[in-house]
Chain A
Amino acid sequence: MNQATRRPELICPAGTPAGLRTAVDAGAHAVYCGFRDETNARNFPGLNFDRKELRDGIAYAHEHDVKVLVALNTFMRAGAIDLWKRGIDDAVEAGADALILADIALIAHTRQAYPKQRLHLSVQAAAATPEAIAFYRDRFGIARIVLPRVLTVEEIARLAAAAAPCETEVFVFGGLCVMAEGRCLLSSYATGKSPNMTGVCSPPSHVDYREENGDLIASVGGFVVERFEKGDPAGYPTLCKGRYRANGSLSHLFEDPVSLNAVDLLQNLANVGVTAFKIEGRQRGRAYVATAVQAFRRAVDAMAAGEKIDVAELRALTEGQRDTTGAYKKAWR
């Protein structure tokens, strides 16, 4: 399981126990998941794992030679840090192959309590320079950094080289944070709930749809962020992908309602030394996960065999939707 194979590892979302089995069956090299509470950044109703479900999920994954990475990647709430520490204890005891962490104090605690436990730095920690990576690698023995989605491929190349022997992991498919991850308070500004504090962003409890002249008006925390014309597909309203007025014009000021699809860059990312590709989407349905995982698994297998990737297949995954390579290409900025 730990051979230094040069194929990029495929890291897939497991939002639920059933989703975990789906991702494992579809060909994931590793899956990532979290507990059903505010310790992870996808703290949505109906998602995540209780303690028994995690143990069972890990058993299933290990039977199939698939690793399980457990995310405890929010920032510990003042006066309630025991909740996160219990999560660490339980994830380690359940046999997690790695823990994905963001809070420096939680990282320090875990390293001290479990010197041999493999630790990954969450994208929520937004380590975007060789010096930031060195901080986590040298002080806490972080084995892998999930890189923030604010970097170009050129910058990723420099980071991957500087990070060694620490590995790097990048998002290649799914939802796209426009802002530097773990450093965005837009959601708490509008709703009081944020990724850092409660593990949610633009949460469903604060989303509202109403009809006006046949159009669908979507708001978050009472602020209108999108107006879908009659017949247009209504997407989930996210604050950073809403339409706003600025400088006299109405536009998707921060980002269009797009998702990330770095299919065209897979080979480049592998060439510059990225260890693992990550698919976002713990909140997505099993059919979506199965399709995406299968397609990306074929792509990384092709790469490992020195064959060409079937880019068309991966492109088709987002057919009918709008996608972007985000900050990976400099023109995005």
Chain B
Amino acid sequence: MSTTSRISLTLGPVLYNWPTDHWVDFYARIADEAPVDRVCVGEVVCSKRQTFRDDVMFRVAERLALGGKEVVYSTLALPTAKREVDAIRELVEANYLIEANDITAVHLLNGRPHIIGPFLNVYNEATLALHRSLGATRVCLPPELSLEAIRILAAGNDAVEVLAFGRAPLALSARCYHARVHAVHKDACQFVCENDADGLDVLTMDGKPFLSVNGIQTLGYVVTAATRQIGDLADAGVASLRLSPQSCDMIRVAKIFRNLADAHITEEEATEALAVVALPGPLSDGYLRGLPGVRHFDEVD
């Protein structure tokens, strides 16, 4: 379906605790309408949420496959408990295409073809090559890398994926901030994270929007958008772009990036089109420009 030079689109896993029926509906629409090549499913942030998804995940995957999407199972980013590792092992043993988000999954995959997610530390060409020798066919780079670094990493291979849309994942913790903010214990959290479809906004003391939290995960407040770097990323040899789901119209977002990658619209037209989608924060390309990740479009250091 795709040619070697065409940049493909990956819809990353939903990082947030969307209500299950909402989550199922979202993927049904993606299956039918979004011009993306592959779709990641699976709970990446909190294993407690997984229980809601278990029953529906395989139905969702089937629907996506019928829609012509390659289905990828993304693993938990910070497994520590045995049952969390067992859940990863089950996915691996079921022979699904796995996106590994922790070295645990890489170990369990034992050389089988897989994808490396953005939660693994692939900062240089040697580490990229090592992961490829262990079976990685695609590697989504950590979001803090600049275009300059991406150029080096993407040269001479067709394996590199870059975050092109969505709030950048910044950190993981054993502690749940949603629970902490709501003064409930993590083990009796009442799933308070379910109320924040794009995470909970975090402001500085003087009221400046800064970060967002999603259970044990911290993300940016700003929304990464690589619209102005698409030409550079294509020239660099980047194979795929990752669109990370936010609560806005992701089908529209996918269409914007598809049209942009196919040069049907210009970088500025794409940027303008994104600006009218209901985004949770301002557009940012700080990391790509080698600046602090928080920098908005046009903001200098």
Number of A residues near B (Cβ < 8 Å) is 68
Tell me the residues in window 267-295 of chain B with beta carbons closer than 8 Å to chain A beta carbons.
286-287, 290-294
Say yes or no: A182-B123 contact (C-beta < 8 A), given A78-B152, A158-B82, A253-B177.
Answer: no
Q: Provide the bound-state CA to CA distance between A331 and B205, in Å.
A: 27
Query: A196–B123 contact, CB under 8 A?
Result: yes
Expressed in whole angstroms, the minimum distance between the Cβ of A128 and any Cβ of chain B is 5
Residue of A78, A102, A190, A244 near B292 (CB, 8 A) is A190
Q: Provide the bound-state CA to CA distance between A247 and B286, in Å.
A: 27
The reply on B3 being an interface residue by CB < 8 A is no
Binding-face segment, A50-58, A219-227, A289-297, A306-314: A219-227
User: Can you list, as one digit per residue, whether each of A58-92 has a CB less than 8 Å from chain B (1) or not (0)?
Assistant: 00000000000000000111111100000000000
Residue of A79, A188, A196 near B125 (CB, 8 A) is A79
The reply on A267 being an interface residue by CB < 8 A is no
Number of B residues near A (Cβ < 8 Å) is 70
Q: Which residues of the other chain, A, contact B102 by a CB distance below 8 angstroms?
A: 128-129, 132
- What residues of chain B have their CB less than 8 Å away from a CB belonging to chain A? 77-82, 85, 102-104, 106-108, 119, 121, 123-127, 129-131, 142-145, 148-149, 152-153, 168-177, 179-182, 185-187, 200-208, 210-211, 213, 218, 220, 286-287, 290-294, 301
Expressed in whole angstroms, the minimum distance between the Cβ of A222 and any Cβ of chain B is 9
Query: A223–B210 contact, CB under 8 A?
Result: yes
Q: Which residues of the other chain, B, contact A255 by a CB distance below 8 angstroms?
A: 175
Query: A151–B174 contact, CB under 8 A?
Result: yes
Expressed in whole angstroms, the minimum distance between the Cβ of B222 and any Cβ of chain A is 9
Q: Which residues of the other chain, A, contact B204 by a CB distance below 8 angstroms?
A: 223-225, 242, 244-245
Q: Provide the bound-state CA to CA distance between A222 and B185, in Å.
A: 33
Closest 7 CB pairs of A and B: A105-B126, A150-B174, A135-B107, A75-B123, A189-B293, A179-B171, A78-B152
30 of the cross-chain contacts (CB-CB < 8 Å) are: A75-B124, A75-B127, A76-B127, A80-B124, A103-B127, A105-B127, A127-B103, A134-B107, A150-B80, A179-B172, A179-B218, A185-B144, A185-B293, A186-B211, A188-B292, A190-B210, A197-B123, A224-B204, A227-B205, A243-B205, A244-B204, A244-B211, A246-B201, A249-B181, A253-B213, A330-B187, A333-B175, A333-B185, A333-B186, A333-B187
